[in-house]
Every structure is written in structure tokens, then in C-alpha cells.
Amino acid sequence: MYEFKYKNNELWCEDVRLQDVASEYGTPLYVYNKQSVIDHCRHIENAFEGVDHLSCFAVKANANVEILKIIADEGIGSDVGSAGELYLSLKAGFPPSKITFSGVGKRADEIEYALDTDILSFNGESVEEIDLIQRIASTKQKIARILLRVNFDIEAGTHRYITTGRKHNKFGIDKSKAKEILLNAAKLSHIEVLGIHTHIGSQITDKETFISAAKSVVSMVDELRSVGIPVHHVNFGGGFGVQYQDFISHPQLPVENADSTEFTTVELIEAALPILKQTGCKILIQPGRSIIAHPGILITKVLYRKVTDEKIFIITDAGMNDLLRPSLYKSYHQIIPLNFESVQIEIVDVVGPLCETGDFFAIDRNLPFVKSDDYLAIMCAGAYGYVLSSNYNGRPRPAEMLVDGYETSLIRKREKIEML
């Protein structure tokens, strides 16, 4: 499932030497492995064997149409958060019957577009939103299917910017109000209530958190059914964490966190699944990172070594405009050389070229010695990488390419400064 490996001290993706890719396509460069995307999809689907379910890929994690086509071909659905993501999903071949629409700020034109497309369902976030969906559906003489997003006030144990299931977060309806809202929604002429939705956060790595959320869902379903509210679908959301530390091993690579707990996405899903099955509902999930993080990397070129009295800076041609996660979330990505030419390990800061102190990929990181014109790979960058990129500091966005066995293909051209 993990197709990035060292061969003779050189990093390869399947049968492609990444040094050659960097030379041909230039840097910064996102590289994805097709087989790894497929494997991750199937790994998750196998966990649901015999269970009535639908996995909907969170398009916000990676919206490249060629990547989306691979996922759609695996029979997985999509979860969108805008008209743009809905458009891309349809372009990639996701059937509308497998598309859900999330987000707290759905515009009227987006709701109209989704209704015209006849998507599976809206994840309703507020009373006003449900009322708007009802009005638009009534005008169009269509039935809008909804799941109410319920906020169970569960601590996700993740970065506060990606915690979404606490009372103080903007997402969902407080669990104490869900029953009344669904009773009223069920009476609306052009609304069909399918069930409930929850999503407690992203990059959650603790099984007990998902178990707690699953128990809350079961309790809510029982409560709703006790007053006659039909519940046929339970959307458990996403947030299934992935392993970022020590993703690639090599005798000369330092072990960054020997005490880190190993886990798999499937183990997190399997912890909650037996509980969710008690509802007898069709179970939906929204995997994003867990499908596309590992299959993608960002290759960057070392521009300069800058040695000061306090630090060794490795200055790269990629910046936080290309990969924002380390600056935004203080998130960890393993950084490794494409080629091993030295056994010397040094403590460095890996930083970008932007006019921001916050433009970094790693601080005080143990890294094999690298010099100008060497290449580095920033691992597990397939999720929330390119989609969060920008033109900050007047820099064009990077190219994206796909590896399939021996073959490489450009799936997004590098921007030019004339496009700014």
C-alpha cells in the first residue's frame, strides 16, 4: 500500500526514480501514486464488508479531478462543501446518488445546484438553513433529503483549528435541541429526514474518541425513534487520523519519535463500527486524509544552506504557500532526501523562501546533511496540500503529477507568473 521506497539510497515511487521526476517536471512538485490511492480506498471498504454503508471522500482534502476520478472508479462517493467541489465531483464521475453536501454556509445558489443535480443528501447545520432548503425545494417542486448534523460536545484531542464537535464550535446542532428540530423538519412538505450526521474533528488518532462518539450516535437514534422520527441513515463523518511520523525507514534516517503509537485508519473505524451497527441504519463516513495523505508527497529543491551562530537553515524553493499545514497547525511531516550522499546527521530548520518567519516545514529537525541543489521529499502531503496552496508573495502554485507503475503524467500544470 506504501509505494514510496528507497532503492540503493535513492527514493522511488513504484518504478519511477523521483530524482528523474524532479529534473523533468521541476519543483516544487506534488507527486501522487495511483496504486496507493486505490489501495487506501479498498483498505477502508474492506472494513465494511457485509455492512450497508457508503464512504464519501471529503473533496476538501484533495480536489484534483484526476485524483477524484481514481476514487470514483473505486465506487466511493464524495462529500462536498461548495458548488465548486460539487462541480468537480460530477466532472470526475461521482454519481449524484453518492454525493453529500456539508458545510455551515451553504448559499442559495449552491442549494439550487445540488437540488437540480439530485444529490443524495444535505448535512443540515441550522434551522435557518433547513428552512432555506425547504423554500428552494418547494419552488422547484423537489424533495430535499437531509441529515441533521448533531454536535455531541466531544473532545477530539486534536488541534483546536480542526476540532469541530465541541459546543463552542460553529458546526452542528446542540444535541439537546436535535429532537425538536427534527420533529419540525419532518413536517416540512419538501424535506425528507434521512437521519443524523456528526463529525467531531480531523486527524483523530484515539479509538476511545470514536467509541464515545458512536455511543452518542446510538443514544440519539434511540431517542429520535422513541418519538416517531424515522432514522435510516447515520453519517459518522470522518476525522480518521493517519500516521505521519517515521513513514519511510532507512538505516541512515533518524527515528524522530520512537515512542509514537502505531495505528491504522481501519483500526479506528473498526473500533466504532460494532457500536454504529446497533442502529440498523445505513452507515456513511467521510474519509479524506485517510485515503489521500499517504499517496502524496511534495518534492522541493534546496536553494541554500544558511549557517548562523544559532541555527542551520535549509532554505527550499517550496514555501508555506505550497504546503501550509506545518505553519498553520504546527503539524509534522517527515522530510527525507531523494538521495543519500552523507551519513552525517545535523539539527536544522527546513524553511521556505517567503517573507514570513512562519514559513517553515520543520524546526530543530534531525536531518541527513543536504546542500544546495539537493532535493527533499516532504512525505504524507497528499491531503490538505495543494488545496490549501496560494499565490502569496506572488508565487505561482506548483505542478501535480501522477505515477502509475513505470508511467508518469502531469495532472496539473505549474502556474506561470503571467497567470497571477
Q: Is the dihedral of CA 34, 15, 11, 255 positive or negative?
A: positive
What is the spatial distance between Cα 370 and Cα 31, in angstroms, rounded to a whole number?
21
Position 393 scores a pLDDT of 98
Average pLDDT over residues 186-194: 97
- pLDDT tens for 369-395 read 999 999 999 999 999 999 999 999 999
Instruction: State the Cα angle at 186 between 179 and 174, rounded to 5°.
Output: 25
Residue 272 gets the label, from left (phi > 0), alpha (psi -120 to 50) or beta, of alpha
Active site residues: 355
Q: Taking residues 95-123, what's their average pLDDT? A: 97
Domains along the chain with CATH numbers: 4-14+16-29+295-419 (2.40.37.10), 48-291 (3.20.20.10)
pLDDT score of 273 more than 90: yes
Average pLDDT over residues 268-282: 94
Q: What is the structure's pLDDT at 165?
A: 42
Q: What is 237-305 written as a DSSP string?
A: ---B----TT-S--TTS--S-TTPPP--HHHHHHHHHHHHGGG-SEEEE--SHHHHSTTEEEEEEEEEE
Residue 46 main-chain phi, psi, to 5 deg: -65, -25
pTM of the model: 0.94
